[in-house]
Amino acid sequence: MQRSPMSTRNAELAQWVEEVARLTRPDRIQWCDGSEAEDERLIDQMLDSGELIRLNEKTHPGCYLHRSDPADVARVEHLTFVCTEQEADAGPNNHWMAPGDAREKMLGLFEGCMEGRTLYVVPYCMGPVASPLSRCGVEITDSPYVVVNMRRMTRMGKAALERIERGDSFVKGLHSTGELDPERRFIMHFPESLEIMSYGSGYGGNALLGKKCHALRIASYQARTEGWLAEHMLIVGIENPQGETHYVAAAFPSACGKTNLAMLIPPESHQGWKIWTVGDDIAWLHPGKDGRLWAINPEAGYFGVVPGTSPKTNPNAYEMITRDTIFTNVAVTEDNQPWWEGKKDGQPAHDWQGRPWNPDSGKAAAHPNSRFTVSATQNPSQSPEAEAPAGVPISAIMFGGRRRDLAPLVFEARDWNHGVLVGAGMASETTAAATGAQGVVRRDPMAMKPFCGYNFADYFSHWLNVGAKLDKPPRIFHVNWFRQDAEDNFIWPGFGENLRVLRWVLDRCHGNASAVETPIGFLPTLDAIDQEGLSMKDGAMEELLSVDEALWQSEMTGIGDFFDQFGERIPEALMEEFRRVVEALGNDKAQQAGASR
């Protein structure tokens, strides 16, 4: 077995690598240092093997295409397990397997799986290397595609290893693409021992173990133990014309506009405003000594959904992926430029599987969940505070999703505990980011349904406990950019115009905006959101801010039914907020359900 000269002084890490090597039997062990030279070697290797395809160097320098196996193109929630000693600790929100059974199953799959392959040791840091809020991990993988993606998505290599060698604990992640057989594909999480095992997939969050596996499922468990929050949230800084910047964290399910909001371009009507991107997907939020909540982005890059990205929808994202980007499952033009639905210019010649494109087929040329991987340093709106060791102070938290006729454009929770209810009851229409039917409304608390590493009831309790520690907690809001009229048209223009809503949110945080109280929370008055220059039909704002109490009565019944599955474990403080809302709505059925808990 060949070995690279780099190794480690950390005895625990060295022993683990040896154990994995004996199990998987690779031809070679490569310790990854994260250098540019290493990255170039791996890319050249994958170009030679056909794992990567070089795209048009004139139009997209340094860009490459990776085509997944057609059966390996999204998260596989039904094959993703949380393995705690007690099933109740994983909760009904997770698929559970006993740790002993899970290890036996996975070790059987990993036995000899790297014969003829290279075992890559990938040390990484989630968050700025100098930050005490960051956490480290090591992924062992046999996929060079994973290595080059992890270099863009995390602080990967020598600096991370040095932090581990200074005594930092680390999450152990073991991955192999295996045979890419869907019948032999599992992603196991062991939060109590900080371990991940993933076999049989080369796709995104199934294989890039620093992302959803570590930064959310394992980190959410760590956060509960240590007193902070690991959340599926963007972090954005909003700078006003006076030069003041305030930060907002927002939780939306995948493909619901997180990246677009994180990189929002102020509209022409908002000269002097600037948007600064701290992160587009994950936030780690820590109570500070000053009584505020402080956030870091554990990631160093973007693994974004590319369909729909255009100069109109997200100019910053569109610009940053014109160079030094890895595309996954997009189509290509005749001259080998990447192409996807919503790009507007160009015409696909081959679809995401490399087949000649037939425009009459009725099928998308790019896969609906096709992705781009790119370093955050290429984002024109990257925040100057992105690497701040202390993070940034959060003024507001926003929850949101796709609801065509229920949720108003924006409303504010009465206080932190009511805000936890707003997040816990959140629902959205499903998208292509997960396998299964699309357009189905499902309950997705805090956009963490696929990602919370323990029982949701305990998670809601933890949110309540964190809020109790804060002297100056962020205000909590709910937004819905996707409300539709009777003709199925979106009422709100969205994109850059969302800044108008963010302005109201921040004004509320500073006591400078008017609102009216309703059973579900505080809504803007009809003139509170700046509408100057907006092209909307007459009565649009009234429709956007309307609260249909009959629909909300049904919604609260649905939330009550969702809470039912957690039994007595659901926190009483949350149920108090639930009963307060249903009482205000006059929903007898929901009141009776709430009274029974």
How far is residue 191's CA from residue 441's CA, in Å, rounded to a whole number?
29
Three-class SS of residue 184? helix
Which of 246, 247, 221 is CA-nearest to residue 233?
247
Examine the residue annotation and report whether 509 is marked as an active-site residue of this protein: no
Total residues found in the chain within this entry? 597
CB count within 10 Å of CB 181 equals 14
Which of 337, 259, 246 is CA-nearest to residue 293?
246
Strand-strand pairing, 392-400 and 293-296 = antiparallel
How far is residue 173's CA from residue 214's CA, in Å, rounded to a whole number?
8
Which amino acid is residue 165, in one-letter code? E
Which amino acid is residue 349, in one-letter code? A
Check: CB of residue 350 under 8 Å from CB of residue 88: no
Find residue 141's DSSP bridge partners: 120
How far is residue 428's CA from residue 438's CA, in Å, rounded to a whole number?
11
**HSE of 8 in the Cβ direction (CA atoms, 13 Å)?**
29
**Which H or E run includes 349?**
strand 348-350
* Sequence-ordered list of residues with C-beta below 8 angstroms from that of 554, at least 6 positions apart, any chain: none
How far is residue 219's CA from residue 297's CA, in Å, rounded to a whole number?
13
Structure tokens belonging to residue 377: 């340093």
Distance of CA 527 to the CA centre of its chain: 34
CA distances from 213 to 6, 81, 135, 286, 430 (A): 26, 11, 13, 20, 20
Distance of CA 562 to the CA centre of its chain: 23
Q: What angle do CA 400, 391, 462 make, to 5 degrees?
A: 55
Torsion angle defined by CA atoms of residues 123, 127, 128 and 133, in that order, rounded to the nearest 10 degrees: -110
How far is residue 573's CA from residue 53's CA, in Å, rounded to a whole number?
54
Q: Which of 136, 256, 452, 509 is catalytic?
A: 256
Known catalytic residues are 256
